[in-house]
Chains A and B, each alone.
Chain A
Amino acid sequence: MSETHVLAEGATLNSFGHDPWWIIGLKALVVFVFLLLTVLITVWAERRIIGRMQLRPGPNRAGPFGILQALFDGIKGALKEDIVPRGVDKVVFFLAPILAAAPAMVSFSVIPWGGVVSIGGHKTPLQLADLPVAVLLPLAMASIGVYGFVLAGWSSMSPYALLGGLRSSAQVISYEIAMGLSFVAVFLFSGTLSTSEIVAAQAHGTAFKVAGMTLHTPSWYAVLLLPSFIIYIFTMMGESGRIPFDLPEGEGELVAGYHTEYSSLKFMMFYLAEYVNMTTLSALCTTLFLGGYRAPWPITWFWSGANSGWWPVLWFLIKIWMFTFFFIWLRAALPRVRYDQLMKLGWKVLIPVSLGWILFVSVVRALRNEHHDVGPIMIVAAIIVVLLLIASFLWERVSASEAQPEEAEAAAEQDPMAGGFPVPPLDAPHYHGVGNGRAPNSAEATRA
């Protein structure tokens, strides 16, 4: 980390609000087109990558490397017969897909793509809009997007859709809290809720002296606030509604969840919403934790111009695609969790851990502001964390060994060759009928 960053032209809140109307329109159009194209490419990339992971080629017929497959599928899907089942609530049924897709797109408007560039003689930041509370917009939009899923489930008048809608509302609500909490530490460190300024705040690590040497703390919040980053990754998967958290549409259970009854263009809207959401969540994570559009460290080390002009767009896209690949990779690798396990993870793990972490961060922050030595606190905290890990590890071992002792009893009794002829045991008690088979606390007994 050296002084080369000074050359980079970062945007601040002051950079906004001076654009002529056509630049704003242009940016909005670019964001929209970018999202649609990204969806097409993501769908294609997902199918190709998962194909490779599953020992098969994936789509490779339409266009070079099958890249047009997603486009053709989209066109085909949109042109299919639009079936509206009898008995649905028509207005809500029509409104739901729009309500799902639109907010996902709106969120992207506060994501910075790059620093200040010159378009047609105007100096303008590569970002559609920024507000002093910009980060709250994606959170708000995610909440509105849930209405799309819930209403789709409700208006379909089908049990599968209803259960899917209920699940998705519960899931998004519980993960949103943890997601919001994971941002708090970032706000505490950057001192702002504006996305462009959060990116700017990650440009330089603060310097501190250890044994006579000047060291810089890492500038990305992903490193500096690792717990927040990890929590965000979990909530990101929860919010996106994809494997391992794709319960609202778990096909084994609920056929297709809230969009079971949808077809044609309306179904494509949900599809679109899912992938746009994925991109938005990746972009948000890039912005808040991975230094946004700024070039990663080893590049800035030898190339001082990496953060100027249009180059940041490249770094931004690379970072987004890393997350997209991560999403795809998870989908190929993991099974689906159960609904109550998901809830348990959200409420009993992510939220308490977030709260504890925020408390810790703010204490350290406050002490440092008053120029106290935070070294001992760090050490104590580290010891506590290690102790907790050991305790949880031991707990795991103990509870696992508790489950063991039943094993011995099963082997005994009965001679399977009684009378030289294999017989099932004759002492079987009489069939005791249906109804007593209530599995003892199945859901509670299995751990999350």
Chain B
Amino acid sequence: MSTERIVGVGAGTKDLATEDMTLNIGPQHPSTHGVLRLRITLDGERITAAEPIIGYMHRGAEKLFEVRDYRQIIVLANRHDWLSAFASELGVVLAVERMLGMEVPVRAVWARTLLAELNRVLNHLMFLGSYPLEVGAITPIFYSFREREQVQRVMEEISGGRLHYMFNRVGGLKEELPAGWLGRVTDAVAAVRHGVGDIDRLIRGNEIFRARTRGVGVLTREQIEQYGVSGPIARASGVDFDLRRDEPYLAYGELQDVLRVVTRTEGDCLARFECLLDQVHASLDLADACVARLKELPPGPINVRLPKVLKVPEGHTYAWTENPLGINGYYLVSHGEKTPWRLKLRSASFNNIQVLREMLPGHLVADMIAILGSMFFVVGDIDK
């Protein structure tokens, strides 16, 4: 923790000499989940200026995309946001399939929808556990990990991965769903629905938690629009925008009666937390609907046979998906090669985190932790 102290300008000339303190939060601070660095200037314990300094984890994902063929890109694409791996894979294959004009088998579409929602539940559970931890409650994370384990077990069974699933393929999914798997998904969903209630009761109504989060870190609609904030954070401020409803992809078009977009209007930390909590329930409902539909569907292929060399015709497209943390987009420009000419990645956390410099000033250091935790970011998703 390197620190620097800057003597206030004009110290001694004013009636009372005061000194602003510059504090580096991160890159290795326990509350930044990785290597985000915030340079904040403090007046006492009040923040007068804050600047997120990013890039400590930059891995050049976009440049690496350009020297990988489309099958390999999927591996890379699920790395930047390790908590929404499936959802990030999805954007790539959607873009490629669109460019190829490929028809994806119905069962693959529904299975993808199911897995995307399970992935969303996994992601949200992580933050539902870690956020109370940031404000000092050490127990909920163990409850959330218990629930994560339920979902992770079915994800692991189908894909072999617990974090990086690598289950999407251009044209469908890697393999057929294992026998009896759908039943186990139903059980897991039921178990999680029950277990999330524990976290809810332990934290949501807690007086101290509410005092720490209510009215803290209010994000206005204007700021959200300026900075391109998306996902549950934007919806907590009443920006009712969800690609699953507003530009349905996968099977979401047919799920409109089940799909419930969770919004809040307060825009504070509590609203963001509640959005996440309620969205877990909404996603579990969607997962149930997907399972029911998959059981009805007649047997059929789950992927498309691909040529040995997969070349995407010349052109460009932008595929965006509603990732757990917000809008994740890929702008794919192809020159008809095996590799993309350019694959621009628009990640959710990158935009979401920029707004911190407007949110933090005026708050206390303790609020900074509450706010930072409620911005639900993954550092890899920021730094790409």
Q: Do A and B bind each other?
A: yes
Establish whether residues B362 and A336, one from each chain, have CB atoms under 8 Å apart when the complex forms: no
Establish whether residues B30 and A251, one from each chain, have CB atoms under 8 Å apart when the complex forms: yes
The segment from B78-86, B91-99, B222-230 found at the interface with A is B222-230
Establish whether residues A244 and B136, one from each chain, have CB atoms under 8 Å apart when the complex forms: yes
Say which size band chain B's interface belongs to. 35 or more
Given the contacts A335-B137, A438-B361, A417 and B228 also touching, CB distance less than 8 Å: no
Q: Whole-angstrom distance between the alpha carbons of A55 and B133 in the complex? A: 16
Neighbour of A336 across the interface among B3, B202, B208, B357, CB < 8 A: B208
Q: Whole-angstrom distance between the alpha carbons of A417 and B5 in the complex? A: 50
Neighbour of A448 across the interface among B143, B211, B221, CB < 8 A: B211
In the complex, what residue of chain A is closest to B141 when comparing beta carbons?
Answer: A54
B293 within 8 A of A: no
Could you tell me which residues of chain A, from 217 to 261, have a CB within 8 Å of some CB in chain B? 243-244, 246-247, 250-255, 260
The segment from B110-118, B153-161, B237-245, B341-349 found at the interface with A is B237-245
Could you tell me which residues of chain B, from 192 to 221, have a CB within 8 Å of some CB in chain A? 202-203, 206, 208-209, 211-212, 214-218, 221
Q: Whole-angstrom distance between the alpha carbons of A246 and B136 in the complex? A: 9
Measured between beta carbons, the chain B residues less than 8 angstroms from A447 are 211
Establish whether residues A410 and B265, one from each chain, have CB atoms under 8 Å apart when the complex forms: yes
B358 within 8 A of A: yes
A379 within 8 A of B: no
Query: Using a Cβ cutoff of 8 Å, how many contacts connect chains A and B?
Result: 162
Establish whether residues A339 and B45, one from each chain, have CB atoms under 8 Å apart when the complex forms: yes
Given the contacts A252-B31, A434-B357, A422 and B136 also touching, CB distance less than 8 Å: no
In the complex, what residue of chain A is closest to B223 when comparing beta carbons?
Answer: A437
Could you tell me which residues of chain B, from 348 to 374, have a CB within 8 Å of some CB in chain A? 357-370, 373
Neighbour of B358 across the interface among A425, A428, A437, CB < 8 A: A437
B134 within 8 A of A: yes
Task: Indicate with 1 or 0, residue by residue over A324-361, a CB within 8 angstroms of chain B CB atoms.
Answer: 00000001111111111100000000000000000000
Measured between beta carbons, the chain A residues less than 8 angstroms from B133 are 252
Establish whether residues B366 and A250, one from each chain, have CB atoms under 8 Å apart when the complex forms: yes
Establish whether residues A338 and B212, one from each chain, have CB atoms under 8 Å apart when the complex forms: yes
Given the contacts A253-B365, A255-B1, A339-B45, A437 and B359 also touching, CB distance less than 8 Å: yes
B18 within 8 A of A: no
A393 within 8 A of B: no
In the complex, what residue of chain A is closest to B134 when comparing beta carbons?
Answer: A252
Say which size band chain A's interface belongs to. 35 or more
Could you tell me which residues of chain B, from 124 to 158, have a CB within 8 Å of some CB in chain A? 132-139, 142-143, 146
In the complex, what residue of chain B is closest to A254 when comparing beta carbons?
Answer: B365
In the complex, what residue of chain A is closest to B238 when comparing beta carbons?
Answer: A410
Q: Give min CB distance, A422 to chain B, whole Å.
A: 4
Measured between beta carbons, the chain A residues less than 8 angstroms from B42 are 159
Measured between beta carbons, the chain B residues less than 8 angstroms from A422 are 241, 243, 246-247
B23 within 8 A of A: yes
A50 within 8 A of B: yes
Could you tell me which residues of chain B, from 56 to 112, have a CB within 8 Å of some CB in chain A? none
Interface centre among A244, A410, A416, A437 (most CB of B within 10 A): A437
Q: Whole-angstrom distance between the alpha carbons of A416 and B143 in the complex? A: 37
A158 within 8 A of B: yes
Q: Give min CB distance, B197 to chain A, whole Å.
A: 15
Q: Whole-angstrom distance between the alpha carbons of A437 and B31 in the complex? A: 23
Could you tell me which residues of chain A, from 414 to 448, have a CB within 8 Å of some CB in chain B? 416-417, 421-422, 424-425, 428-429, 431-432, 434-435, 437-440, 442-443, 445-448
Neighbour of A439 across the interface among B203, B240, B359, B370, CB < 8 A: B359
Could you tell me which residues of chain A, from 254 to 271, have a CB within 8 Å of some CB in chain B? 254-255, 260
Establish whether residues B246 and A445, one from each chain, have CB atoms under 8 Å apart when the complex forms: no
A215 within 8 A of B: no
A367 within 8 A of B: no
Could you tell me which residues of chain A, from 127 to 178, have a CB within 8 Å of some CB in chain B? 158-160, 163
Establish whether residues B136 and A335, one from each chain, have CB atoms under 8 Å apart when the complex forms: yes
Q: Give min CB distance, A253 to chain B, whole Å.
A: 5
Establish whether residues B357 and A443, one from each chain, have CB atoms under 8 Å apart when the complex forms: no
Interface centre among A163, A407, A439 (most CB of B within 10 A): A439
Q: Whole-angstrom distance between the alpha carbons of A425 and B203 in the complex? A: 35
Neighbour of B139 across the interface among A54, A338, A340, A428, CB < 8 A: A54
Neighbour of B222 across the interface among A254, A424, A428, CB < 8 A: A428
Establish whether residues A53 and B139, one from each chain, have CB atoms under 8 Å apart when the complex forms: yes
B325 within 8 A of A: no
Establish whether residues B364 and A338, one from each chain, have CB atoms under 8 Å apart when the complex forms: yes
Contact sample, A vs B, 18 pairs, CB 8 Å cutoff: A54-B143, A55-B143, A56-B142, A159-B5, A253-B366, A334-B208, A336-B366, A338-B366, A339-B45, A403-B266, A410-B221, A416-B240, A417-B246, A422-B241, A425-B225, A435-B361, A439-B359, A446-B216
B interface, CB within 8 angstroms of A: 1, 3, 5, 21, 23, 29-31, 42, 45-46, 49, 132-139, 142-143, 146, 202-203, 206, 208-209, 211-212, 214-218, 221-223, 225-226, 228, 238, 240-241, 243, 246-247, 265-266, 357-370, 373
Given A252-B369, A338-B364, A411-B240, 17 new contacts (CB under 8 A): A158-B3, A159-B23, A331-B138, A333-B139, A334-B208, A335-B136, A337-B208, A337-B212, A339-B364, A422-B241, A425-B225, A431-B226, A437-B358, A442-B218, A442-B367, A443-B364, A446-B211
5 closest cross-chain pairs (CB), A and B: A336-B136, A410-B238, A439-B362, A437-B358, A335-B137
A interface, CB within 8 angstroms of B: 50, 53-56, 158-160, 163, 243-244, 246-247, 250-255, 260, 331-341, 403, 406-407, 410-411, 416-417, 421-422, 424-425, 428-429, 431-432, 434-435, 437-440, 442-443, 445-448
